[in-house]
Structure 1
Amino acid sequence: MIRYPILDEKATIGITAPSSGIPKEMHGMLESAIQNLKDEGYSVVSGDTAWTQEKAKSASARKRAEEFNEMMRDESIGLIFPPWGGELLIETLEYIDFDNIRGKWILGYSDISFLLLAITLNRGIATAHGTGLIDLRGEESDETTGKWKAVLSNKEGDTVIQYSSEKYQEDWDYDNSTPHIFILTEETYWKTVSGHEEKLEGRLLGGCMDAIRHLIGTSFGDVESFKENHIPDEPILWYLENCEMSVVELRRTLVHMKLAGWFKDASAIMFGRSSSDMPVEGYTVEDVYQELSEELGIPIVYDIDCGHMPPQITLINGAYAEVEVKGGKGVVSQTFR
């Protein structure tokens, strides 16, 4: 059984940085994102860590964990929303009070994937992989990004449907953002290894592979126990994205996940777009996906709206998803059951 939080219209949003905070010279971006939340009717509580950054982290591991734990205990907070990802969230896991994780949403991606996946696997509580707070600082949100509110407001038993974007952003350019922040210039096209239409379904799990692969072999990454305790006899539909790994490192990571049993009984895998997928000696990311699909005997979809080439669909760890990919377009239906 999966427990689903719900985001009320007038919820209090807690901002804390369990990975990286915002350096002083970029505080204006965070202030703008916070004001946008307030303008939409949300109350906002901001922790100290969101405003500091030194030596690749917002603060010490203990301080980051303590601030997160405090916001988790605060019953008035309905959503914990890190400003963005970072590099060293893994340092905080041993200090986070998993026994007292409450039913409230946590939303983010990149390095935040560590925390999202660890909480869902260990507590059976749904977590949300999607936009970072800092990407809501614009005058408006594109249709794909802006769906996060509707998804997190879904009630248990309800279904929410999202569609692939029309265009995506190829490169980051903080100095030349549009009213909705992202520079959406490239046509979105979801692909399948089979080259044909695919219909997928299963319980969603996933995140940024650069981060979550380091949960393997730890008590925080026990996928088998999660399946037995929370989704017995149900398949997992994995969604994964590559931030910085080369094609060969991606291959090593996927083989590692396979050998660790993460893909046992998986129904399919969906991969997000990546700017790191450059060929190595003629070995391409398409080769990687083809090999993995053949080894596991499951469909693989790639270049979906997930990860570091926005916009991205809000995907819920633990939700039951049905995905249809046809003619380069994707429809994602998530049911909170």
Structure 2
Amino acid sequence: MKYPKPLQKGSTFGIIAFSSGISPKHNARFECVTNHLKSLGYNIVVGDCLYDQGKHVSGSAKQRAEELMSMLLDDSIDAIYPPWGGEVAMELLALIDFERLKQARPKWILGFSDVSTISATFACKLGWATGHCSNLMDLSPSSNDPLTSNTLNCFATSSGESFTQHSLSHYASQWPDFVNQPEAGLNLDTKTQWQWLTKPQHVEVIEGRLIGGCWDTLSHLFGTEYLDLKAMSERHPEGLILYLENAEMPPTEVARSILSMEYRGVFGCINGLLVGRSAAPEETDPKRLSYYECLRQYLSDLPIPVMIDLDIGHKPPNLTLINGALASVSLSAKSEEHMGSITQTLAP
């Protein structure tokens, strides 16, 4: 893996939207976040593709891809941090000049949701370490929960070094009101805990290289040139840990995605599967398949360990996960609180 330079005071963030931009009503939140980053000693460069253009994107696919390439090739920029995700970052993939990027200095790509469409692809196809973490718009000065507040500290880790994060006891059931309370942080009001769906036979640990992101978008990329886990696993004989989080898929769509992954050989390429909290509406009809019934029915028989309800995804806060890092994920069933931890080492 190729690790970008550690982020520190003086590092420069390039801010563009791969997919959905921000609306004028979000200006106050954006200024709050960027002023906070400047106060921490970071530099900010804002691109043209930032604001919504009336529909679901911040510019044409060509405009967004060209601006992304420009920042990726600009060595004055250390990280590219979209405000948040969106819907169709996938349409940029065919417009990115991956051959040219093989000669470029790696840059951090940071965020979650549709941002992971780009970040997972870069980790798998280029071998660049990338970050799945709290989105830019989450980083207000009031975001003081232990995961969000330490997001950028994780990216200060030097190549070869490690950092550890622990499971939380609560998550936020709602996002802050960015419009009317632009400085608001998360309110962790709902109990949560990591759980084993399928435990390893002799240990309570999963180890391997991390790769993953938003299930809704990555499900369309498995087995393509952009997310070829078989090729990635062959480059890294220590194996892969796939992590996924469901943003909007109903249970039957999750089932179809699992079956599609099985047919494409995804589960034969990984050491284990981590599943974040689901943000999709819960199924209330007892006659219909629920989300947890779907996971038990379609994942329990896989010949790999599976852990669910991790601090990943659209029910924040988010762990900072570095695609390509060597990870050890543990969860002790002996503890009443089932406390989990993940240690990541930036191993080449």
> TM-score normalised by the shorter chain: which range applies?
over 0.9
Tell me, yes or no, if structure 1 residue 285 matches structure 2 residue 291.
yes
Cα deviation, residue 227, structure 1: 2.1
User: In structure 2, what is the equivalent of residue 320 of structure 1?
Assistant: 326
8 Å Cα contact 1:324-1:330 kept in structure 2: yes
What is the correspondence of 1:1-337 to structure 2 with a 5 Å cutoff?
A: 2-5=1-4, 6-101=6-101, 102-174=105-177, 181-194=185-198, 198-228=204-234, 230-231=235-236, 233-276=237-280, 278-279=282-283, 281-326=287-332, 327-337=337-347
Output the CA distance in 1 between the equivalents of 2:94 and 2:212. Answer: 21
The Cα offsets for residues 186-217 of structure 1, whole Å up to 9 and x where unpaired, read as 12311112489831111111110111111134
Give 3-state SS (helix, strand or coil) of 1:77's partner.
Answer: coil
Distance 1:176 1:330, change over 3 A: farther
RMSD: 2.0
What amino acid is the match of 2:317? P
Cα deviation, residue 282, structure 1: 4.4
Q: Scaled by the length of structure 2, what TM-score is found?
A: 0.90
Total equivalences in the alignment: 334
Q: Scaled by the length of structure 1, what TM-score is found?
A: 0.93
Output the CA distance in 2 between the equivalents of 1:261 and 1:8. Answer: 40
Cα deviation, residue 294, structure 1: 3.5
The Cα offsets for residues 280-319 of structure 1, whole Å up to 9 and x where unpaired, read as 6343333333334443222211111000000010011111
Q: Which moved more, 1:139-148 or 1:177-186?
A: 177-186
Cα deviation, residue 67, structure 1: 0.8
Output the CA distance in 1 between the equivalents of 2:262 and 2:301. Answer: 10
8 Å Cα contact 1:192-1:198 kept in structure 2: no
Give 3-state SS (helix, strand or coil) of 2:78's partner.
Answer: strand
Q: Which moved more, 1:21-30 or 1:285-294?
A: 285-294
Structure 1 gaps of 5+ residues are none
Output the CA distance in 2 between the equivalents of 1:216 and 1:54. Answer: 31
Output the CA distance in 1 between the equivalents of 2:303 and 2:223. Answer: 24
Give 3-state SS (helix, strand or coil) of 2:13's partner.
Answer: strand
Cα deviation, residue 172, structure 1: 2.7
Output the CA distance in 1 between the equivalents of 2:244 and 2:252. Answer: 16
The Cα offsets for residues 72-93 of structure 1, whole Å up to 9 and x where unpaired, read as 1111111110000001111111
Output the CA distance in 1 between the equivalents of 2:2 and 2:344. Answer: 14
Q: Which moved more, 1:233-242 or 1:139-148?
A: 139-148
Output the CA distance in 2 between the equivalents of 1:125 and 1:23. Answer: 31
Output the CA distance in 2 between the equivalents of 1:172 and 1:131. Answer: 12
Cα deviation, residue 31, structure 1: 1.4
Give 3-state SS (helix, strand or coil) of 2:297's partner.
Answer: helix
**4+ long deviations beyond 4 Å:** 175-180, 194-197
Cα deviation, residue 265, structure 1: 3.6
Q: Which has the higher helix share?
A: 1
8 Å Cα contact 1:190-1:325 kept in structure 2: yes
Give 3-state SS (helix, strand or coil) of 2:268's partner.
Answer: coil
**Identical counterparts, % of pairs:** 36
8 Å Cα contact 1:277-1:285 kept in structure 2: no
Give 3-state SS (helix, strand or coil) of 2:44's partner.
Answer: strand
Output the CA distance in 1 between the equivalents of 2:79 and 2:188. Answer: 28
Output the CA distance in 2 between the equivalents of 1:180 and 1:322. Answer: 33
Cα deviation, residue 266, structure 1: 1.8
Output the CA distance in 1 between the equivalents of 2:198 and 2:87. Answer: 35
Distance 1:118 1:60, change over 3 A: same
What amino acid is the match of 2:15? I
The Cα offsets for residues 149-183 of structure 1, whole Å up to 9 and x where unpaired, read as 22111111111101112321112341676965212
